[in-house]
Amino acid sequence: MTPAITYPQHARQIMRLGGPLILSNLAQFALHITDSIMLGWYSISALAASTIAGTFFFLTFILGAGFSQAVTPLVASAAEEGDEVQVRRVTRMGLWLSTFYGLAFMLPFFWAEEILLAMGQTTTVASEAQLYLTIVALQMVPALIVMLLKSFLAALEHTAVILWATLGTALLSASAVMMGWIGEVPLAAHGIALQITSLAFVVHVGFSQAATVRAGRALGRRDPGGLKRGGITVLVLSFAVSVLTMAVFLLLPAPLISVFLDPSHARRDDVIVLGVLFLALAALFQIVDSAQVIALGLLRGVQDTRVPMLMATVSYWIIGLPVSYVLAFTLGMGGAGLWLGLVLGLSVAALLLLWRFWRQSVPALERRFLRDALPASAPG
């Protein structure tokens, strides 16, 4: 009988697997955040436009990345069972689906100005966002292919060669659109705050990717105890990072925001005031945001995706987004109301997804493994 993996062993394995993922995510995102800093020093209008265009791109990209996310647990489970044919078949189908999706969904980018104007954005923001999206449209298919190959390698625990990361959520994308209705300065401050919070978020994405692989491996070897211990370990590691992030956001908000802005810009102080407020609100959701992305990773690892998708949809679109709108516009709270809606949506998602994993998925797997272990009944 294979000895049980202890908590310290789980922690070492998660860090060995997640460490390269986290570092590669940070390295990739460093390129993106450098672009934002340069845009902020060039023009607040350009920064606002890149915020709305970037969220437009990532919303489209993250939907297509669902194919690569599906590949990870399927390949991990097949690899654990030694089924190389299934590994190749799943990866090949994922490549075809990612390519077809990318070609089809990059087309709206070439009419982005008209779309954004219809969504209530200013003429300047819509025009500059169109230029941005026309260029980045060409990277949609390659980005999705690299994302899928990253998922394939992660499932095989070959993470040292991975140099790409996934970032973005539909709720954050929608909030950027609504922030654009308030004005360019709030949109620019929102964009800066998102860049900073996203830098912390990609660390949890790395832990989530590691959680998916470890859960998929536990599923393949029929090890519910290892699944639970691994889940607890990765949640604790992610929680520790969240506490550190909260402290930084609350203690050093102004210096972080200032990095993105030209000291001589006339509206610099206005952006900093709003950015500090947004970072303080972002500190509120660090723990729940990390918890929900880790829970998603664990659920993907055990191939439980349909119900979690519905839970996330309800949390983000039925609860978070409407509350953001009511707080921001109906109650007149402006950008702060939008961010409070984010806090609520992510909190509900974290609670539902954690409940799903610990109270539904894990017990169901334990029952299934127990049935599989029972000897077959003798024929009558």
% of the chain surpassing 90 pLDDT: 18
Tell me the C-alpha distance between 143 and 208, whole Å.
20
Mean of the pLDDT values across residues 157-186? 59
What is the CB neighbour count within 10 angstroms for residue 369? 14
Task: Name the token pair of 147.
Answer: 């994302």
Task: Name the token pair of 367.
Answer: 């029952």
pLDDT value, residue 375: 63
Which range (20-24, 284-288, 302-306) has the least confidence?
20-24
Cβ neighbours for 143, distance < 8 A, ≥ 6 positions apart: 61, 102, 164
Amino acid at 146: V
Cβ neighbours for 43, distance < 8 A, ≥ 6 positions apart: none
Give pLDDT tens digits for 52-89. 787 778 778 777 877 776 777 777 777 767 777 777 78
pLDDT value, residue 380: 46
Nearest one of 208, 96, 216, 98 to 156, comparing CA atoms: 216
pLDDT value, residue 173: 62
Tell me the C-alpha distance between 298 and 231, whole Å.
7
Contact 207, 19 (CB under 8 A): no
Tell me the C-alpha distance between 162 and 66, whole Å.
18
Map tokens 């609350």 to a residue. 250
Tell me the C-alpha distance between 104 and 309, whole Å.
23
Task: Name the token pair of 100.
Answer: 């077809």
pLDDT at 277 over 60: yes
Q: Which of 133-142, 261-270, 349-358 has the highest mean pLDDT?
A: 349-358
Tell me the C-alpha distance between 167 and 377, whole Å.
50
CA distances from 340 to 132, 315, 335, 336 (A): 29, 13, 9, 6
Write out the H or E segment, with its range, that includes residue 51: helix 44-64
Task: Name the token pair of 48.
Answer: 């606002």
Regarding pTM above 0.75, the answer is no
In this structure, what DSSP letter does residue 161 have? G
pLDDT value, residue 212: 85
Contact 253, 314 (CB under 8 A): no
Amino acid at 69: Q
Nearest one of 168, 283, 298, 290 to 238, comparing CA atoms: 290
Give pLDDT tens digits for 204-227. 888 888 888 888 888 878 888 888
What is the CB neighbour count within 10 angstroms for residue 91? 19
How big is the chain, counted in residues?
Answer: 380
Which range (144-153, 275-284, 300-309) has the least confidence?
144-153
377 CB burial (10 A radius; 0-12, 13-18, 19+): exposed
Residue 337, sorted as left (phi over 0), alpha (psi -120 to 50) or beta, turns out to be alpha
pLDDT value, residue 316: 83
Which range (34-43, 221-230, 324-333, 367-376) has the least confidence?
34-43
